[in-house]
Structures are given as C-alpha cells and as structure tokens.
Amino acid sequence: MSKQIKLKKGFDIRLVGKAEKKIGEFQPVKTFAIKPTDFIGMQRPKVIVKEGDTVKAGSPILFDKKMEKVQYVAPVSGEIVEIKRGEKRKLLEIKILADSEINFEKFDTYTEADISAASREKVIDHLTATGVWPQLIQRPYGVVANPEDEPKAVFISGFDTHPLAPDYDYLLKGQSSYFQTGVSVLKKLTSGKIYLGLSGENKSSELATIQGVEMHQFSGPHPAGNVGVQIHHIAPINKGEIVWTINPYGVVQIGKLFTNGIYDASKLIAITGSEIKSPAYAQTYIGSCVDAYVEGNTKSDHVRVISGNVLTGEKINRDGYLGFYQHQLTVIPEGDYYEFLGWMKPTAEKLSYHKALGLLSFLFPKKEYALDSNARGEERAFVQTGVFESVTPMDIYPVYLLKAIMAEDFDEMEELGIYEVIEEDLALCEFVDVSKHPVQEIVRKGIELIQYS
C-alpha cells in the first residue's frame, strides 16, 4: 500500500491554455537540436561531429571532457547542418536536419532475465554509451549523475504540478511495460530503494501498478509534484549523501533501449498557453524546433515563447528549440510595457498570492488567468514576512538561505538546506516575491559556490 503525504504549503498558478488531450494538427518539424546549456554542470563540451556529417538516432555527437564516459547522442537521423557557438566560442546548439524516416543505431537488447543477471558495471556501460544516461540527475546540485558514484536511492515523480503542466498519464499511455523494464534497470544502479511519487488526487494513474518501487502519494498545491519536495518528505539528503532522480519519460526511454535496442527519443509534448489558438499535444522528438507549433497558431505576434513552464522554463525565439528535459511549450503575451501604479488597481484579471495585491482573485478560486511576462516592478529591498515559507513545503527557511548565499556564507548555506534544493524547488518564492529578486539565479549561484568550493 502506498503512503499518503498531504502538503498544505504551496500555490497553484491557474492559467488559461491547458492542452487538450488530443494530438494537434501541426506542421512537420524539420530540424532538431541538442543544446549543451540544457545540461547543468557541463563545462567542457567536446563536439565529435562536424557540419555536413550524417548521423543516426543514437549516434554520439557530444561528450563532456570532465565525464567522457557519458555520450550525448543525436535524437533523430539526418545531417548536421549547424554547430552554433556564442561568445568566446561557447557551444550553444548542434542542429540536425531530420530525415523523413528515422534510422536508428542498433544496440544490444535485454530480457528481464538478462537485466537481472547483468552486473552494475555492464548496465552503466550500456546506459552511458547509448545516450540515455543524461536522464539521470544527481541531487544535490541538480547535475547529470556521475557513473562513478552510487546513490543511496533513486526518486521518480510521476506527476507534474507546474502551471499548465502536461498530464503524465496521457504522455505515458501504453508505456507501462517499458516503464517496468526501466525500473528493473534502475534497481541495478543502487543498493537502496526506488521511490515513485504519485498524485493523491489521481487514483487511476498509469503507474499505479508498477512493481519494485516504494510508492508515496502526494496531495496539495504546487510544488507537490517536484521531486525535490518528495525527497524531502521521504528521505531527506544529508551532507555527503547522493541520490539520483529521473523523469518518468527517462524511465520509459531506458526501458525502450533495453527492450528494443534503440535510442528512442520520441515523445509527446504539450503545446500550452493563453496565446496558443489550439492548445494540444504534439508527437515529436527530443530537441524539436518550435516554429512548427508557433507559426500560425498564436493569437498575436507579440508573444513570449517558453521552453517549459512559466515558472522554471527558458525564454526562446519563435524558431528556437525545446529543451532536452522539457515536455511542454508555453506561449503567453509579452509583458514589455509599463503600467503606472498597475499593482495598486483592484482587478479580477490579475492573479496574486498576496490578498492585498490581488484581493479580487481570491473571490474566484477556480478562475484561470491569461497572465503576461510583466514583472510589475523592479528589484528592491529584500524584506519578507514569512511569505516564502508559506509556499515552500519543506522544513527550511528560504529567506535566510537566500541571504546566506548572497553573503557567500558557506556554513550557513549548509545548515539552512542548500543540499536539498535546486531552482525549481524555490521557483514559487520568485513568483510571490514583492521584492522582485531573481531567486532561482541566487539558488544556482549558491549551489555552484558549494559544489566548486
């Protein structure tokens, strides 16, 4: 029987534009890209292809000189059409013009008996050589897991509570057998447990019948679906400990690799946001160009396109590429305007956590809002009165932690919980912050200070 955990702290940002559970009619995607910037902690990427080369899905195209064993591979077959670099020749993107029919590199296949008999080293070698290893993320720090380490446990969050988040049951429909195989593989990587967090409000989850995991059901507002919050309430990370996390899609991808012997980067993504004419799902591959979903499908041209969700996603161009870990594209109105005393005007069209600023929004608790990207203010004195703690369902003090990071006080950072959080865990603090501080940037700075000290 799964364990029930009810969270009271948090806040649901209710937005217009949730994707309907159907496959939308979109133009075919022609190009795909792998972006080294998606892999936090990658410092010395080495490209092993050149423009004009042809690759198959699963062909190595990149590795990190600090962790050469881990290969980053092409999500589709086709031609390398551009290796894009930025300032100081920083590698930004490797673009692939996709074939009309995807051709795959062929890898070994495994039965359940083969997986059971395989050594941990053999499983790791297979995962790192075939491109699926980057799906494993290490906590603390939120970086790609090091195959030389052994985690005390592996955590999977089986649902997402971010604004307009895709429905994982829809994304994973019919994939439970691959997920089960993926769990069998993950069990070879740790002597500890595999923990699976499920929504307490969804009693018919696609993942509810998975064997070999310890299930916990979480209910409550966002960030109940964050794996960091789930780790905190199941088995918190202490200094010197390592756990690994993986998205359900990554578990399925591992299952497909061992079952079918291919690197299958196909995925469903949610096309969301108030500026999308027809919010729906799209069948694509990792790193797809978003112009096929945006062109002719927005209510205006003055929009912000986000790879991911509005809290933690990345602003990209209309012809940009979806991030490696993202299952969602969000399009909202651009907020590059000034509204004199706009925050003081009573209105039912603005959502705010603070009753003094958004009183009318509290009168309509189920209302969905078409919010833009306007921050409605600029950075000012860092004064808070417990509001950060009210949206953080963890036994930490976010304000003191953030101030310790800003002061570069290493001892205080450790004592206040820097090992337990990454950016997404405190993203709501940035939303409710009337002082307009870049909370997520501050958190990453603190993580890097601890990691490289």
339-343, 350-354, 391-395, 420-424: which range is least confident on average?
339-343
pLDDT the model gives residue 1:
53
C-alpha distances (whole Å) from 234 to each of 149, 152, 153, 256, 389 are: 21, 13, 11, 29, 19
Residues 182 and 252: beta-carbon distance below 8 Å: yes
When the pLDDT of each residue in the chain is averaged and rounded to a whole number, the result is 92
Task: Characterise 400 by phi-psi region: left (phi > 0), alpha (psi -120 to 50), beta (else).
Answer: alpha
Longest dimension (CA), the chain: 68
Give helix 120-129 / helix 248-260 axis angle, nearest 10°. Answer: 100
Give tens-digit pLDDT for 288-319. 999 999 999 999 999 999 999 999 999 999 99
Handedness of CA 409, 412, 418, 419 (dihedral sign): positive
Give tens-digit pLDDT for 113-149. 999 999 999 999 999 999 999 999 999 999 999 999 9
Taking residue 126's Cβ as centre, other Cβ atoms within 10 Å add up to 20
Give helix 176-186 / helix 248-260 axis angle, nearest 10°. Answer: 90
Distance CA 42, CA 223 (A): 27
Q: In 3D, which of 169, 374, 142, 330 has the Cα closest to residue 245?
A: 142
Q: Is the pLDDT of residue 186 over 70?
A: yes
Give tens-digit pLDDT for 321-331. 999 999 999 99
Report domain extents, the chain: 1-335, 336-371, 387-451
C-alpha distances (whole Å) from 252 to each of 21, 319, 391 are: 20, 28, 32
pLDDT the model gives residue 340:
63
Peptide linkage before 60 cis (omega within 30 of 0): no
Give tens-digit pLDDT for 16-33. 999 999 999 999 999 999
Q: Which helix (H) or strand (E) holds 71?
A: strand 67-73
Give tens-digit pLDDT for 205-263. 889 999 999 999 999 999 999 999 999 999 999 889 999 999 999 999 999 999 999 99
Report which of residues 151 and 453 the model is more confident about.
151
Distance CA 26, CA 167 (A): 20
**Reduced to 3 states, what is the DSSP secondary structure of residue 390?**
helix
Q: Which helix (H) or strand (E) holds 120?
A: helix 120-129
Calculated CA dihedral for residues 48, 327, 279, 197, nearest 10 degrees: 180
pLDDT band at 434 (very low <50, low <70, confident <90, very high): confident
Distance CA 131, CA 324 (A): 12
pLDDT the model gives residue 355:
61
Q: Is the pLDDT of residue 357 over 80?
A: no
Distance CA 362, CA 372 (A): 19
Q: Is the pLDDT of residue 204 over 90?
A: no
- How is residue 79 written in tokens? 């031609």
Residues 215 and 2: beta-carbon distance below 8 Å: yes
Taking residue 441's Cβ as centre, other Cβ atoms within 10 Å add up to 11
Q: What is the Cα 418 distance to its own chain's centre?
A: 19
